[in-house]
């Protein structure tokens, strides 16, 4: 059994030195590094509201949840695309945004919103989705925060039209801004979002390769505390192999860096039933614990319909924590199907393109060494495709110019049609929505027993 | 700058010629699975699709469309800002000399409250959209609209005019009602 007690009782582990080193506020790094050493699972919501009072209430409820938690400020989509004028107009007209507009609010507003909530045991991370994150990094650093996420590939390809070259440059500059916190005695933390890539239908080896390459990019640009990500896909056994491979490759390539792995509960089309949604997030927690991952970002039962309430977030956090606490780490790795070799081949081929990792990433996409299936971004080659096999595994159906042709047989699949695409996109949702309900009669039971 | 301009796999109405569709989203919306799905669907129904991808600035939409001269512009958005951002988008399309009469539709999840009624969407129609397609009927309605576009192409020139009315909210609303 794993403890889910809150960090406030963990002074003995973090040591009094941590407080001295990291100033009065928490650092995300210190709390997560302690969790990693202890083998604890930290759970985190995706939560963002434009009203500072509601945002504060959301963070407060996250902190008070019966789980080991860290807080999240998810920013709104106008801020993500750099349209601060429209965010400003919405605030003036009191129209709600779909997240917290950290750039538009005065620093004092954000400081007051966080005061007394964020402390040395409860750090807060900014989540945004911006390919050009400079202003966001400025705002979060000014507000005294030290942790955020994204990456020059993972926040460019799926969510923007920004040329990769421009995103790489912006992320280099942003990394240097964040890294400058080290001169003030604060260890900043940066998470790669590379394990998500469109949320679904991106085969595991490419997710691993992109998040590791972004981790190496961050390290190259002065960040010493990093997390690598992996989003739950279609098959639990395949996911376990992938996350263990991610740990092994990170240990090989990021030896001089403090790192942990963060699991994202499924990022594709989410189950529409409460039972299905909570059962999916519980499985994500089991994946995290079985593979020795330190952190999990949850999704809620309301995800498929609308922006979730604070209470729905807390339910998801507590469901995940309970499922994690009832799970043991895998005693041995599952039988290898070659995910690690594929990921390593992708990473090595990209690193071989140029000594400068930013230039290597730009060239990798131009040559199709990295090619995200179904991604519409102008810089993505669009020659690789994936398929969900009859066994429910996510595999390549076309490898295009990916340097893995010698490792993986492409699975034959029928031509992509709108109906087949919809079926693949809905695969996980359908499976969890229609799962056998014989042993757990209703969602309330699941909440209690997961 | 257009993405994946592909020829159709199977013509929906052989002999009617290919209809050009510009498929796009609003500037703040980063979702693309909806765009990929609609691209495939439209191609299967005889359209040549110019898919502009995620987070399309209004100026890009207008510029690309003015070049393609499409038979239809489809805006798909699911981030909840469509009801608001759609207004400026429609006005900009209608302000373009080349695009003033091109049928323009929007669909998806248009606000955070899940609005469904005509009254909720009246501002979008007044701003220049010909139709608002939401909920479970959105896809069948889009296909019905394509079919109507195809039928009207077969009619002699003067009769074909009513589908692409001159500027004027009322005419366009009548058109929207007709395809609902």
How far apart CA A180 and CA B132 sit, in angstroms, is 49
Beta carbons of B36 and A382 less than 8 Å apart: no
**Using a CB-CB distance cutoff of 8 angstroms, which residues of chain B are in contact with residue A416?**
40
Beta-strand runs (E) in A239-383: 258-264, 295-297
Who has greater pLDDT, A363 or A159? A363
* Cβ neighbours around B173 below 10 Å, total: 18
Provide the percentage of residues in chain B whose pLDDT is more than 70. Answer: 75
**Using a CB-CB distance cutoff of 8 angstroms, which residues of chain A are in contact with residue B27?**
81, 83
CB A128 within 8 A of CB A79: yes
Give all domains of chain B, ordered by start, each with its CATH number. Answer: 3-179 (3.40.50.280)
Please state the rounded mean pLDDT for residues B22-34: 95
Spatial CA neighbour of A56 closest among A11, A113, A17, A6: A113
How many helical (H) and strand (E) elements, i.e. helices and strands, does chain B have? Answer: 7, 6
> What would the DSSP string read from start to end of A254-285?
-TTSEEEEEEEP--SSPPSSHHHHHHHHHHHH
Give CA torsion, residues A25, A29, A31, A36, to 10 deg: 180
Which SS3 state, helix, strand or coil, does residue B132 take? strand
**Which chain B residue is nearest to residue A83, measuring alpha carbons?**
B28
Dmax (CA) of chain B: 44
Please state the rounded mean pLDDT for residues B42-69: 95
In this prediction, residue A266 carries a pLDDT of: 97
pLDDT surpassing 80 at residue B166: no
**Using a CB-CB distance cutoff of 8 angstroms, which residues of chain A are in contact with residue B79?**
77, 98
CB A193 within 8 A of CB A228: no
Please state the rounded mean pLDDT for residues A404-409: 86
Please state the rounded mean pLDDT for residues B5-23: 56
B131-133/A124-127 β-pairing: unpaired
The 10s digit of each residue's pLDDT in A195-206 is 999 999 999 999
Beta carbons of B112 and A129 less than 8 Å apart: no
The 10s digit of each residue's pLDDT in A46-61 is 999 999 999 999 999 9
pLDDT surpassing 60 at residue B3: no
User: Looking up tokens 């690309």, which residue turns up?
Assistant: B64
Q: Which two tokens stand for residue B88?
A: 């400026």
Q: Which two tokens stand for residue A112?
A: 């007051």
In this prediction, residue B8 carries a pLDDT of: 37
Cα→Cα distances A417→A45, A217, A274, A400, B120, Å: 35, 37, 30, 19, 33
Beta carbons of A425 and B37 less than 8 Å apart: yes
CB A70 within 8 A of CB A8: no
Beta carbons of A306 and B56 less than 8 Å apart: no
* Cβ neighbours around A247 below 10 Å, total: 20
How far apart CA A132 and CA A152 sit, in angstroms, is 8
pLDDT band for position A441 (cuts 50, 70, 90): very low
How far apart CA B135 and CA B86 sit, in angstroms, is 17
Beta carbons of A83 and B27 less than 8 Å apart: yes
pLDDT band for position B151 (cuts 50, 70, 90): confident
pLDDT surpassing 60 at residue B160: no
pLDDT band for position B175 (cuts 50, 70, 90): very low
How far apart CA A132 and CA A154 sit, in angstroms, is 12
Q: Does A163 touch chain B (CB under 8 A)?
A: no
CB B19 within 8 A of CB B45: no
Question: How close A174 comes to chain B (CA, Å)?
Answer: 21
**Using a CB-CB distance cutoff of 8 angstroms, which residues of chain B are in contact with residue A83?**
27-28
Query: Quick one: how far is CA B80 from the chain centroid?
Result: 18
The 10s digit of each residue's pLDDT in B76-133 is 999 888 999 999 999 999 999 999 999 999 999 998 777 777 788 999 999 999 999 9
Q: Which two tokens stand for residue B141?
A: 């309605």
Q: Which two tokens stand for residue A294?
A: 């330190």
How far apart CA A374 and CA A201 sit, in angstroms, is 8
**Using a CB-CB distance cutoff of 8 angstroms, which residues of chain B are in contact with residue A91?**
none
Which SS3 state, helix, strand or coil, does residue A199 take? coil
Q: Does A305 touch chain B (CB under 8 A)?
A: yes
pLDDT surpassing 80 at residue A276: yes
pLDDT surpassing 70 at residue A329: yes
Average pLDDT, chain A: 91
Please state the rounded mean pLDDT for residues B125-152: 91
Beta carbons of B28 and A78 less than 8 Å apart: yes
pLDDT band for position A9 (cuts 50, 70, 90): very low
In this prediction, residue A444 carries a pLDDT of: 56
Q: Does A86 touch chain B (CB under 8 A)?
A: yes
The 10s digit of each residue's pLDDT in A109-147 is 999 999 999 999 999 999 999 999 999 999 999 999 999
Beta carbons of B81 and A77 less than 8 Å apart: yes
Say which DSSP state A370 is in: S
- Residues of chain B whose beta carbon is less than 8 angstroms from a beta carbon of chain A are 1, 3-4, 9, 27-30, 32-33, 35-38, 40-41, 44, 51, 53-56, 60, 79-81, 84-85, 112, 114
A438-449 in b/e form (b: 16+ CB < 10 A) is eebeebeebbee
Spatial CA neighbour of B5 closest among B48, B61, B63, B56: B48
In this prediction, residue A249 carries a pLDDT of: 98
pLDDT surpassing 80 at residue A69: yes
Give all domains of chain A, ordered by start, each with its CATH number. Answer: 7-325 (3.20.20.240)
**Using a CB-CB distance cutoff of 8 angstroms, which residues of chain A are in contact with residue B55?**
81, 159-161
How far apart CA A205 and CA A384 sit, in angstroms, is 13
Spatial CA neighbour of A142 closest among A168, A180, A170: A180
pLDDT surpassing 50 at residue A72: yes
* Cβ neighbours around A129 below 10 Å, total: 23
pLDDT band for position B9 (cuts 50, 70, 90): very low
The number of C-beta contacts closer than 8 angstroms across A and B is: 81
CB B97 within 8 A of CB B134: no
What separation, in Å, do the N-terminal and C-terminal C-alpha atoms of chain B show? 33
Question: How close A316 comes to chain B (CA, Å)?
Answer: 21
A384-388/A225-231 β-pairing: unpaired
How far apart CA A376 and CA B54 sit, in angstroms, is 8
Say which DSSP state B155 is in: S
The shortest CB-CB distance from A160 to any of B3, B36, B55 is to: B55
Provide the percentage of residues in chain A whose pLDDT is more than 70. Answer: 91
pLDDT surpassing 60 at residue A397: yes
Highest mean pLDDT among A6-20, A349-363, A431-445, B149-163: A349-363
Q: Does A382 touch chain B (CB under 8 A)?
A: yes
* Cβ neighbours around B151 below 10 Å, total: 13
**Which chain B residue is nearest to residue A306, measuring alpha carbons?**
B112
Spatial CA neighbour of A368 closest among A344, A393, A331, A403: A403
**Using a CB-CB distance cutoff of 8 angstroms, which residues of chain A are in contact with residue B51?**
376
User: Looking up tokens 């509960």, which residue turns up?
Assistant: A265
How far apart CA A96 and CA A83 sit, in angstroms, is 15
CB A371 within 8 A of CB A400: yes
pLDDT band for position B162 (cuts 50, 70, 90): very low
């Amino acid at each position: 059994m794993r403890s889910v007690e809150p960090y406030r009782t963990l002074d003995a582990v973090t040591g009094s030195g941590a407080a001295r080193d990291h100033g009065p506020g928490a650092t995300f790094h210190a709390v997560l590094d302690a969790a990693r050493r202890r083998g604890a699972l930290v759970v985190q919501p995706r939560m963002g509201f434009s009203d500072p009072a509601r945002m504060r209430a959301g963070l407060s409820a996250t902190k008070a949840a019966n789980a080991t938690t860290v807080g999240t400020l998810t920013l709104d989509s106008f801020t993500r695309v750099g349209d601060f004028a429209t965010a400003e107009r919405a605030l003036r007209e009191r129209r709600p945004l779909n997240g917290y507009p950290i750039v538009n609010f005065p620093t004092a507003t954000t400081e007051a919103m966080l005061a007394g909530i964020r402390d040395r045991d409860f750090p807060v991370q900014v989540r945004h989705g911006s390919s050009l994150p400079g202003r966001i990094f400025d705002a979060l650093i000014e507000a005294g925060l030290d942790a955020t996420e994204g990456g020059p590939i993972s926040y460019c390809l799926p969510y923007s039209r920004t040329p990769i070259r421009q995103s790489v440059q912006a992320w280099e500059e942003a990394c240097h801004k964040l890294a400058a916190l080290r001169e003030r005695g604060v260890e900043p933390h940066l998470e790669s979002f590379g394990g998500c890539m469109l949320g679904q239908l991106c085969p595991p080896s490419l997710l691993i390769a992109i998040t590791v390459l972004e981790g190496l990019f961050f390290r190259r640009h002065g960040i010493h505390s990093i997390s690598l990500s992996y989003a739950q896909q279609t098959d639990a056994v395949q996911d376990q192999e992938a996350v263990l491979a991610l740990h092994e490759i990170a240990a090989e390539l990021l030896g001089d860096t403090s790192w942990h792995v963060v699991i994202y509960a499924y990022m594709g089309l989410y189950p529409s039933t409460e039972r299905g949604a909570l059962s999916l997030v519980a499985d994500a927690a089991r994946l995290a614990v079985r593979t020795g991952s330190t952190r999990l970002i949850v999704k809620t039962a309301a995800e498929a319909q609308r922006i979730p309430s604070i209470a729905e977030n807390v339910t998801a956090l507590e469901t995940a924590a309970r499922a994690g606490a009832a799970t043991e780490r895998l005693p041995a790795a599952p039988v290898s199907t070659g995910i690690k070799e594929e990921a390593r081949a992708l990473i090595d081929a990209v690193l071989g393109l140029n000594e400068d990792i930013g230039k290597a990433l730009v060239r990798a996409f131009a040559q199709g060494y990295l090619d995200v299936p179904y991604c519409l971004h102008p810089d993505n080659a669009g020659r690789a495709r994936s398929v969900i096999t009859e066994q429910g595994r996510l595999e390549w159906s076309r490898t295009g110019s990916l340097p893995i042709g010698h490792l993986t047989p492409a699975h034959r699949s029928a031509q992509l049609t709108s109906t087949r695409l919809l079926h693949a996109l809905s695969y996980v949702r359908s499976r969890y929505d229609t799962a056998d309900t014989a042993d757990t009669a209703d969602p309330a039971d699941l909440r209690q027993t997961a | 700058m257009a993405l994946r301009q592909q020829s159709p796999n199977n013509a929906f109405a052989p002999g009617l010629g290919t209809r050009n569709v510009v498929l796009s989203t609003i500037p703040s919306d980063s979702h693309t699975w909806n765009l990929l799905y609609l691209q495939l669907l439209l191609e299967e129904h005889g359209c040549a699709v110019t898919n502009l991808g995620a987070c399309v600035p209004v100026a890009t939409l207008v510029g690309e469309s003015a070049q393609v001269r499409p038979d239809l512009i489809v805006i798909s958005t699911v981030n909840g800002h469509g009801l608001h951002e759609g207004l400026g988008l429609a006005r900009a399309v209608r302000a373009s000399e080349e695009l003033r009469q091109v049928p323009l539709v929007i669909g998806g999840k248009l606000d955070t409250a899940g609005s469904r009624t005509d009254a909720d969407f009246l501002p979008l129609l007044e701003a220049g959209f010909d139709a608002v397609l939401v909920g479970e009927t959105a896809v069948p309605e889009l296909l019905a609209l394509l079919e109507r576009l195809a039928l009207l192409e077969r009619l002699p020139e003067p009769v074909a005019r009513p589908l692409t009315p001159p500027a004027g909210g009322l005419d366009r609303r009548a058109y929207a009602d007709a395809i609902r």
